[in-house]
Structure 1
Amino acid sequence: MKISLSLQQDISAPELSLKRAYIKKVVETTLRHIETQSDCEIGIACVDYAASHQLNLEYRQKDKPTNVLSFPSDLPDEMAAVLDTFPIGDLVICIPVVLCEALEQNKAPLEHFTHMLVHGTLHLMGYDHETSDEDAEEMEALEIEILAKLGLANPYLEADQD
């Protein structure tokens, strides 16, 4: 399986250095874990508060910025079948929200970004934590397994409180 990545960075943050090779590795690890066989294409846009807020309001009717938005491909199966690479969709990741959440949760910025990338990729592949408790548990378990493959800790464990 090969991953074709389109990466748009409208915002940069010195505390979060993003490398294309790393992002591709995370997406590929996620897709392999859920046994995706075909070559895939994904678009990722790293945006600021304003862009995230506007998209979240427009597409989810939520009047605030959010960490990650997922826009799965709506390409008909007949068309997708003739393509060399399957377009799974696009992710919009709000870097300031990710950095703020990382700070609040006492996590390294890159680790939290990686979690959001895995989370969003799973959404693109049809996983949804908002449909039922069972679906939420399944998605959370997959995220924990995938992040472990990447050498990262369970993001759902509470940080030790003193």
Structure 2
Amino acid sequence: MTSAAIPLIDISASELVDTQIIEQFYTPQLLQKVLTTTLDFMQAQSDVVLPYFSEVEPSVWQHKPKQLGVYITDAVEGRALNLEARDKDYATNILSYPSELPAFIIEQMPELALGELIVCHDVVKQQAAEQHKTVAEHVTHLLVHGILHLLGFDHELGQAQQDEMEGFEIAILEQLGIGNPYLAR
């Protein structure tokens, strides 16, 4: 990031998630690296407007320290949260809850709250095995994916939006040393 601001990341987990999972896959160092790399990449895209920050002067949002909440859960709670949030009765890999603060609030706050990510590690682990990826690679991909949602990108709006978001993911993951997650292995 062009500023020296270190992201403020709050990591928490359901009581049913083993602390070893957190220590292995969701470290503050990894989350900071993923968040910083994603934000740096998006900041370098001068022709791209971040949907949730379109009314905020780029110099305002770019130089504020960022806040991100990450909550790790299991399949049972993940299913309940997905049902409540999206009316879908299954556990999903990641849910994104953007802060969507009004521009005048963002301008006043010392930090920029991006929102919350809820990661269902059981689903992530299962998908990684099915897709012949490491769990660490899949976690990183989903964190990038979730952060893009927090910035306002949405692959469910149409093919053009899906292609744009996937293109960002592929480029960001390449910077993180991870290959294209959409290629079959």
If the TM-score is normalised by the length of the shorter chain, which range does it land in? over 0.9
Question: Does residue 144 of the first structure (1) align with residue 170 of the second (2)?
Answer: yes
**TM-score (norm: length of structure 2):** 0.82
Counterparts of 2:88 and 2:179 in 1: how far apart (Å)?
Answer: 30
The residue number in structure 2 matching 1:37 is: 62
Secondary structure of the structure 1 residue equivalent to 2:157: coil
The residue number in structure 2 matching 1:22 is: 30
Counterparts of 1:121 and 1:89 in 2: how far apart (Å)?
Answer: 9
Deviation at 1:88, TM superposition (A): 0.7
Counterpart code for 2:33: K
Deviation at 1:126, TM superposition (A): 0.5
Counterparts of 1:83 and 1:24 in 2: how far apart (Å)?
Answer: 20
Query: Which residue, out of 5, 8, 17, partners 1:4?
Result: 8
Question: Does residue 58 of the first structure (1) align with residue 84 of the second (2)?
Answer: yes
Deviation at 1:77, TM superposition (A): 1.9
Deviation at 1:74, TM superposition (A): 3.0
Closer/same/farther in 2, CA of residues 15 and 81 from structure 1, 3 Å limit: closer
Counterparts of 1:134 and 1:68 in 2: how far apart (Å)?
Answer: 22
**TM-score (norm: length of structure 1):** 0.93
The residue number in structure 2 matching 1:128 is: 154
The residue number in structure 2 matching 1:117 is: 143
Q: Give ranges in structure 1 of 5+ residues lacking alignment.
A: none
- Assess if the C-alpha contact under 8 Å between 1:69 and 1:120 holds in 2: yes
Closer/same/farther in 2, CA of residues 138 and 149 from structure 1, 3 Å limit: same
Closer/same/farther in 2, CA of residues 76 and 15 from structure 1, 3 Å limit: closer
Counterparts of 2:13 and 2:28 in 1: how far apart (Å)?
Answer: 11
Deviations 1:115-160 (A, max 9, x none): 000000000001110001000000000000000000011000001x
Structure 1 stretches of 4+ moved >4 Å:
13-16
Deviation at 1:76, TM superposition (A): 2.2
Counterparts of 2:153 and 2:159 in 1: how far apart (Å)?
Answer: 12
The residue number in structure 1 matching 2:108 is: 82
Q: Give ranges in structure 2 of 5+ residues lacking alignment.
A: 44-60
Secondary structure of the structure 2 residue equivalent to 1:158: coil
Deviation at 1:9, TM superposition (A): 2.5
Deviation at 1:13, TM superposition (A): 7.1
